[in-house]
């Protein structure tokens, strides 16, 4: 059974930094692209970032480009999101989500999310 | 970026009735469309991929149709556990984009 468990969320001041983690199990982690998707309170879903199975390719939403960095550690089966220069509009629940397969960029498994609150 | 527009924003349906949800893409995405269901306090769950294929474990009362720019999610004989928010997602090109969601509520 695929399991994705996020951690690292919390309260941070504007301009601050935070690193999210997503521990994966139940599948061959290195074989699947992984993503972060966020949801502001009471709002819809917004894709944030993607990283390929090898880690060689990554994409970012324009809203976080230059501030967030996605990475993965295959030895630990863990996905990360380093978030710098945080803004109030980054306040959201952050989900890690697994892609179904190569060239199938929809999400077949999701974690339960971790809440990030950016406020002074 | 491809803009996904869902309608209506809210749909009031009685249990046992049919719900029809729409999703429109701002450009041709062929069949690269997925539907998700999200209940309060939970992560989204994949329902449909490839516009028409049900994900593992999804009941047959959920069906998807459409291609190109117009898509529909149909839920036949709504059950109490089906009331939730539904999102479409296009994966034809990056960035991946979601519609704004349709909330299906009990009438």
pLDDT higher than threshold 90 for residue B7: yes
Percent of chain B with pLDDT over 70: 100
Find, among A45, A93, A87, A54, the residue nearest to A68 by Cα. Answer: A87
Q: What is the mean pLDDT of residues A47-58?
A: 96
CB contact under 8 A, A110 and B44: yes
Distance from CA of B103 to the nearest CA of A (A): 11
What pLDDT was estimated at residue B21? 98
Interface test with A, best of B51, B96, B98 (most A CBs within 10 A): B96
Q: Quick check: B60 contacting A, CB < 8 Å? A: no
pLDDT higher than threshold 90 for residue A102: no
Q: Identify which of A44, A59, A112 has the shortest CB distance to residue B43.
A: A112
- Edge to edge, what strands does the sheet with A78-83 contain? A3-7, A18-25, A78-83, A68-73
pLDDT higher than threshold 80 for residue A103: no
pLDDT higher than threshold 80 for residue A11: yes
What pLDDT was estimated at residue A112? 97
pLDDT higher than threshold 90 for residue A104: no
Q: Which residues contact B98 (CB under 8 A, 6 or more apart)?
A: A44, A45, A46, A47, B4, B87, B88, B89
Q: Which residues contact B36 (CB under 8 A, 6 or more apart)?
A: A45, A107, B44, B45, B46, B47, B86, B87, B88, B89
d(CA B27, CA A20): 34
Query: What would the pLDDT profile of B58-103 be if each residue is shown by its tens digit?
Result: 999 999 999 999 999 999 999 999 999 999 999 999 999 999 999 9
Mean of pLDDT over chain B? 97
Q: Quick check: A27 contacting B, CB < 8 Å? A: no
Interface test with A, best of B9, B43, B57, B64 (most A CBs within 10 A): B43
Mean of pLDDT over chain A? 97
pLDDT higher than threshold 80 for residue A8: yes
């Amino acid at each position: 059974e695929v399991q994705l468990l996020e951690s690292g969320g919390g309260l941070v001041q504007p301009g601050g930094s935070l690193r999210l983690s997503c521990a994966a199990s139940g599948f061959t982690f290195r074989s699947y692209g992984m993503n972060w998707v966020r949801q502001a309170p009471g709002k819809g879903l917004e894709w944030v970032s993607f990283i390929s199975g090898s880690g060689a390719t990554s994409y970012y939403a324009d809203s976080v480009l230059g501030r967030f960095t996605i990475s993965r550690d295959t030895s630990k089966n863990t996905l990360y999101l380093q978030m710098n220069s945080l803004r109030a509009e980054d306040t959201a629940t952050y989900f890690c989500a697994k892609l179904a397969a190569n060239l199938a960029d929809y999400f077949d498994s999701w974690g339960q999310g971790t809440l990030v609150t950016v406020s002074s | 970026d491809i803009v996904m527009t869902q309608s209506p924003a809210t749909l009031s349906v009685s249990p046992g009735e049919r719900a029809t949800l729409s999703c429109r893409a701002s450009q041709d995405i062929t069949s690269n469309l997925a539907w998700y269901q999200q209940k309060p306090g939970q992560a989204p769950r994949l329902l449909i991929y490839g516009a028409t294929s049900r994900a593992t474990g999804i009941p047959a009362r959920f069906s998807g149709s459409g291609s190109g720019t117009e898509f529909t999610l149909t839920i036949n004989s709504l059950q109490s556990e089906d009331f939730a928010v539904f999102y479409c997602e296009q994966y034809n090109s990056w960035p991946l984009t979601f519609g704004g969601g349709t909330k299906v509520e009990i009438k």
